[in-house]
Structure 1
């Protein structure tokens, strides 16, 4: 088996309602978007997910396959494919309502060739799948880098204090965390986002925490300090999938830097600022392309040749 990244979590159909009253369906889901980004950047990406054997499920599987993403065995076991209703405001920012079910497919897990396991978003909080995610991540730490994006969905996560306790339990298992300033403002109201990120590194043990600030760029926190990279100027169509494409690009960059895999955990904790700056610059470039077009549509590697 070839070396690969395993994403564990939701793939679904986004029904996007635009400010002008139009609507359209796009395959999506946070974890699917991360896997898709990796596939388009030339990486072997596997997705353990929960799709139905229906028309929407077929559309999602075809979308993933076009970008060379493989779904793991059992990922087609859902009674029907889940749906997210995304409503865009005039600036292209999305709010969501969900009709979904999530379970981890039987037998899903890391192998000796799994460089990283990535999870987060709905998959990490919605039962019964969330318990399966936690068990899988705990087991995978022996072989793989663990990455996590809380990607907060308040409508599914309950009260912020309860959600934060759940999120931080997963941060303790993670090597790499990507989180938006909006997520942190909801999870830890009254605390500066970077103060939360610093605590996740120094108190909870993450090697790298990246906080994204939308149009203001991104800041990475490590034990050695912090690195900020500004965003790129671009005409925003919508923000659907932007954070997920950033996350996929981050995993791609860590792979290029030979910082994925449990045997590279010590090196990841010692990562230097120049490497982090290069990682963030690539992530910002990928996210800029994604927000410049409709839906979760990250770039292919050839589109970044001059990035």
Structure 2
């Protein structure tokens, strides 16, 4: 079973031609939908209001087969994100969000736990997330995507303080060039990846948009090219990439209680295989509007 922890948001997308659409989103919720569409039993620990936007999110989760964890706090209104797309389909974001889930149960014995984005850094919920990770890290594979959204984050120093606590609890970190430019301005991405590896993860994956992704491990790094795609927009591309990666890790039987130790022994050929699956998932997602990760029969046709 997969446990995903983090915010659920309705993405309001404003396109260059003036049209506006609304899609259920939020990076962690997108990952949960992606995992469920790929056939993995998935639970999402998130906070969703009892409003129209909340109904939209619940419908998307239910359609994909995601189970919503019960017992977490219910916000007064569901979070929203407005993405303004430029002529190349690249979004810039503004957010209306609070994150205060309360204590997150860890009695589900998940094979993997994914956390990321705003929920990892925004108080008061970030402390609940960190507490959960400390409880599950010994028995689950933990993945983390900082997915930096500066408009809704505290000061960089506070974000970096949370990052220093979370990275040692993880097994796989996925980040982007944009994330790293905000987290470590002017520092070579490979240098940052190596620093994070020294803290404990088995792999640090740096996504590079149309160029693909570089996967850093203690044994070296490899570049996995992006799969060919006709880009409609890039909303949710990184989330689809991560869902594809976790699906591939599951297919390789490297999740569960022994997964963390196994991931520290695999070679670069292993990471190329799983990285290629992740690249295909991202390519499918960018070819359609909003965050629409692939179903299993699309990814493994």
TM-score relative to the length of structure 1: 0.94
Select 2:48's aligned residue among 48, 51, 56: 51
Check the 8 A contact 2:104/2:132 in 1, yes or no.
no
* Alpha-carbon distance in structure 1 between the residues aligned to 2:187 and 2:99: 32
Deviates more, 1:151-160 or 1:178-187: 151-160
* Alpha-carbon distance in structure 2 between the residues aligned to 1:57 and 1:90: 30
Deviates more, 1:66-75 or 1:258-267: 258-267
Q: Relative to 1, partners in 2 of residues 1:292 and 1:75: Cα closer, same or farther, differing over 3 Å? A: farther
* Alpha-carbon distance in structure 2 between the residues aligned to 1:205 and 1:40: 30
- Is 1:137 the counterpart of 2:138? The answer is no
Check the 8 A contact 2:194/2:216 in 1, yes or no.
yes
Select 2:118's aligned residue among 122, 140, 152: 122
* Alpha-carbon distance in structure 1 between the residues aligned to 2:186 and 2:257: 35
* Alpha-carbon distance in structure 2 between the residues aligned to 1:119 and 1:181: 19
Q: Relative to 1, partners in 2 of residues 1:217 and 1:47: Cα closer, same or farther, differing over 3 Å? A: same
Deviates more, 1:99-108 or 1:260-269: 99-108
Question: Counterpart of 1:111?
Answer: 108
- Is 1:84 the counterpart of 2:81? The answer is yes
Check the 8 A contact 2:114/2:142 in 1, yes or no.
yes
- Is 1:269 the counterpart of 2:251? The answer is no
Q: Offset at 1:284?
A: 0.4
Check the 8 A contact 1:48/1:105 in 2, yes or no.
no
- Is 1:26 the counterpart of 2:31? The answer is no
Post-superposition CA distance 1:106-129 (Å, at most 9, x none): 4532533x1111101010111111
Select 2:62's aligned residue among 57, 65, 69: 65
Check the 8 A contact 2:103/2:128 in 1, yes or no.
no
Check the 8 A contact 2:173/2:205 in 1, yes or no.
yes
* Alpha-carbon distance in structure 1 between the residues aligned to 2:66 and 2:19: 30
Select 1:188's aligned residue among 184, 188, 191: 184
Deviates more, 1:174-183 or 1:159-168: 159-168
- Is 1:12 the counterpart of 2:22? The answer is no
Question: Counterpart of 1:302?
Answer: 297
Select 2:169's aligned residue among 173, 179, 182: 173
Check the 8 A contact 1:77/1:105 in 2, yes or no.
no
Deviates more, 1:41-50 or 1:230-239: 230-239
Q: RMSD across aligned C-alpha pairs, in angstroms?
A: 1.4
Select 1:220's aligned residue among 205, 215, 219: 215
* SS of structure 2 residue aligned to 1:297: coil
Question: Counterpart of 1:100?
Answer: 97
Post-superposition CA distance 1:15-34 (Å, at most 9, x none): 11111111111000000000
* Displaced runs of 4 or more, over 6 A: none
Check the 8 A contact 2:5/2:28 in 1, yes or no.
yes
Gaps of 5+ in 1: none
- Is 1:163 the counterpart of 2:159? The answer is yes
Post-superposition CA distance 1:85-122 (Å, at most 9, x none): 1111111111111111112254532533x111110101
Check the 8 A contact 2:10/2:57 in 1, yes or no.
yes
Q: Offset at 1:262?
A: 3.2
Gaps of 5+ in 2: none
* Alpha-carbon distance in structure 2 between the residues aligned to 1:155 and 1:42: 34
Deviates more, 1:175-184 or 1:151-160: 151-160
